Structure 1
Amino acid sequence: MTDSIRDELAGTLLRRLEDGSFKVGIIGLGYVGLPLALAVARAGFAVVGFDINTTRVRELNQGHPGIKHIAAAELASAIEARRFSATDDFSRLDEPDGLVICVPTPLTRNREPDLSFVVRTAEAIAKQLRKGQIIVLESTTYPGTTEEVIKPILERTGLKSGVDFYLAFSPEREDPGNPHFETASIPKVVGGDDPEALRIAQAFYGKFIVKTVAVSSTATAEAVKLTENIFRSVNIALVNELKLIYAAMGIDVWEVIEAAKTKPFGYMPFYPGPGLGGHCIPIDPFYLSWKAREFDITARFIELAGEINTAMPRHVVDRLAQELDRRFGRGLNGAKILVIGVAYKKNVDDMRESPSLRLIELFEQRGASVDYHDPHVPVIPPTREHAALAGRRSVGIAAGVVAEYDALLIATDHDVVDYKALVAEAKLVVDTRNACARSGALADNVAKA
Structure 2
Amino acid sequence: MTHTTTRSVCLKVLIVGSGAREHALAWKFSTSKRISALYITPGNAGTDELGENLPDVDPADPAAITEAAVNRKVSHVVIGPEVPLAAGVADSLKNAGIAVIGPEKASAQLEASKQFSKNFMLRNKVPTAASVTIDSPKQLAGELAGRSGKVVLKKSGLAAGKGVLESDNTEELQSFGEEVLKEDSLIMEEFLTGFEVSIFALLDGRNYILLPPCADFKKAGIDDSGPNTGGMGAICPVPTVSNGLLARIEKDVVEPTIKGLVKENLMYTGVLYFGLMITESGPKLLEYNVRFGDPEAQVLLPLIESDIGNLIDAMAQGKLEDFPLRISEKSALGVVVASGGYPGPYKKGVRVDNLPKDNGKDCVLFHASTTLSPEGQILTGGGRCFTVVGLGSSPLSARAKAYSVVPEVQFKDSWYRPDIGKKFFTEN
TM-score of the two chains, using structure 1 as the length reference: 0.29
Greater share of helix residues, 1 or 2? Answer: 1
- Tell which has more relative contact order, 1 or 2 (C-alpha 8 A, sep 6+): 2
Instruction: Work out which of the two has the higher radius of gyration on C-alpha atoms and give 1 or 2.
Output: 1
